[in-house]
Amino acid sequence: QQRVLTGITTSGTPHLGNYAGAIRPAIAASHQAGVESFYFLADYHALIKVQDPARVQRSTLEIAASWLACGLDPDKVWFYRQSDIPEIPELTWLLTCVAGKGLLNRAHAYKAAVDKNTLDGEDADAGITAGLFMYPVLMAADILVFNANKVPVGRDQVQHIEMARDFGARFNHLYGEHFRLPEAVIDESVATLPGLDGRKMSKSYDNTIPLFASPAEMKKLILGIKTDSRAPGEPKETEGSALFQLYQAFATPQESQAMAEAFASGIAWGEAKQALFERIDRDIAPMREKYEHLMARPGDIEDILQAGAKKARAIATPLLTRLRHAVGLRDLR
Ligand code: TYM
């Protein structure tokens, strides 16, 4: 049985990178026969970055509504909020006790924070919480608690999935074969979707295009994508062009080929941006309507999440009973 699982951190408004890197491939996977899908709102992860309760709650609602608007069917998949599953932090501790500290020292997010401190002439760990350091262990628990074997993500998350394999394998080695080891599933055409400035689209770079921005707002943002100064009529490079990569993430291979030819024959940047806006809007517009409808009914979303948590705990609770027994703890339940 294939089990697909992925999550999005509830630290802000979902953007096109989350959609193309995770939501779209995850929903496509959920329509395949013989696949069980687990999609969740990573609100414990959000606390690592965001200490504003209203923002966490708002983001949770927005991300839940986004999944549903993009076609997730809560009756066919397991759709839940991470913090509604107490077995996840419980497993996090069991994994913490087998996770190598040296491996965690090499996690990208932690290393980036240390490098920044060093550059700023600060103490290496200044301002870094143990939460940031432990991030990959919590993420491993998310995946292993449902024995998921496929994890659709953007390239930035691959290292975390490799760590989940490592922790799962160590646990299995010590306590018997409890976990399947997960693999990342990456859509190469969107592995890293660029943002407005050409760097990875990311909440932390403030270069995102919100998935459900109004058409006017989306158009304005797209017109602001960084391009070089080549004039209309001059051939343009597709290589390294954020505009082209964004187009490619939404277009069919034929449409992308046609756009590559337009680049070669000197399409004006303004015209290419208009084409990008129209291509994205064609996919997003029908979902935007559903999104707005859902956002007006937070109670309905909450009901869906509660039902999802119940369904998810029906799997997680017996697993934790087995794991507690395996490591020598008393049966709680
Ligand atoms: P997060 O919230 O940063 O991003 C959610 C998903 O969106 C993908 N993504 C991108 N893909 C392509 N291009 C981009 N510019 C881009 N930006 C974001 C991410 O790769 C991710 O798939 N730790 C995770 C959430 C998480 C999780 C998990 C994921 C928690 N537990 C278990 C999978 C399995 C995170 O912060 O993603």
**Per-residue confidence in pLDDT tens, the chain, 333 aa:** 899 999 999 999 999 999 999 999 999 999 999 999 999 999 999 999 999 999 999 999 999 999 999 999 999 999 999 999 999 999 999 999 999 999 999 999 999 999 999 999 999 999 999 999 999 999 999 999 999 999 999 899 999 999 999 999 999 999 999 999 999 999 888 889 999 999 999 998 999 999 999 999 999 999 999 999 999 999 999 999 999 999 999 999 999 999 999 999 999 999 999 999 999 999 999 999 999 999 999 999 999 999 999 999 999 999 999 999 999 999 887
Q: Is residue 198 part of a domain?
A: no
Closest by Cα among 230, 257, 259 to 243: 259
Helix (H) or strand (E) holding 183: strand 183-185
81 phi and psi angles, rounded to 5 deg: -100, 130
Q: 6 in ligand 1 pocket by Cβ < 6 Å?
A: yes
Q: Are residues 139 and 225 in the same domain?
A: no
Binding residue per annotation — 154? yes
Ligand 1, from 3, 55, 80, 153: best to mutate by most atoms within 8 Å of Cβ? Answer: 153
How far, in Å, from the CA of 172 to the mean position of ligand 1?
26
CA nearest ligand 1 atom 5, residue: 8
Q: 0.90 exceeded by the pTM?
A: yes
CA nearest ligand 1 atom 21, residue: 153
Q: Is residue 20 part of a domain?
A: yes
From its phi and psi, is residue 240 left (phi > 0), alpha (psi between -120 and 50) or beta?
left
Q: What is the rounded distance in angstroms from the CA atom of residue 11 to the CA atom of residue 43?
A: 8
Q: Are residues 131 and 82 in the same domain?
A: yes
Helix (H) or strand (E) holding 28: helix 24-30
Ligand 1: nearest atom to the Cα of 155: 20
How far, in Å, from the CA of 92 to the mean position of ligand 1?
19
How far, in Å, from the CA of 253 to the mean position of ligand 1?
25
Q: How many domains does the chain have?
A: 2
Q: Is residue 86 part of a domain?
A: yes
Q: Are residues 83 and 180 in the same domain?
A: yes
CATH number at 223 reads 1.10.240.10
Q: Are residues 238 and 285 in the same domain?
A: yes
Q: Are residues 42 and 73 in the same domain?
A: yes
Q: Are residues 303 and 282 in the same domain?
A: no
Binding residue per annotation — 11? yes
Taking a C-beta distance cutoff of 8 angstroms, is the pair 236, 182 a contact? no
Ligand 1: nearest atom to the Cα of 191: 12
> What SS3 state is found at 2?
strand
CATH number at 157 reads 3.40.50.620
Sheet with 2-9: strands ordered across: 78-81, 35-42, 2-9, 150-152, 183-185
- Residue 10 structural domain: 2-193+297-327
Tokens of 266: 């000197």
Tell me the one-letter amino acid at 145: V
Binding residue per annotation — 165? no
Q: Are residues 169 and 281 in the same domain?
A: no
DSSP H helices, the chain, are: 16-18, 24-30, 43-49, 53-69, 87-96, 101-105, 108-119, 130-144, 158-175, 215-223, 242-250, 253-264, 269-295, 298-327
Q: Is residue 332 part of a domain?
A: no
Ligand 1: nearest atom to the Cα of 160: 23
How far, in Å, from the CA of 19 to the mean position of ligand 1?
10
Ligand 1: nearest atom to the Cα of 201: 15
From its phi and psi, is residue 5 left (phi > 0), alpha (psi between -120 and 50) or beta?
beta
Q: 182 in ligand 1 pocket by Cβ < 6 Å?
A: no
The ipTM (two decimal places) reads 0.99
Q: 197 in ligand 1 pocket by Cβ < 6 Å?
A: no
Q: What is the rounded distance in angstroms from the CA atom of residue 2 to the CA atom of residue 19?
A: 22
236 phi and psi angles, rounded to 5 deg: -115, 150
Question: What residues have CB less than 8 Å from 302, skipping those under 6 apart?
Answer: none
Q: 139 in ligand 1 pocket by Cβ < 6 Å?
A: yes
**209-214: Cβ within 8 A, 24+ apart:** 209/15, 209/16, 210/13, 210/14, 210/15, 210/16, 211/13, 211/14, 211/15, 211/16, 211/18, 211/19, 211/66, 211/284, 212/14, 212/66, 212/69, 212/284, 212/287, 212/288, 212/291, 212/292
Q: Is residue 203 part of a domain?
A: no
Q: pLDDT value at position 112? A: 94
Binding residue per annotation — 24? no
Q: What is the rounded distance in angstroms from the CA atom of residue 93 to the CA atom of residue 143?
A: 14
> What SS3 state is found at 194?
strand
Q: Are residues 169 and 47 in the same domain?
A: yes
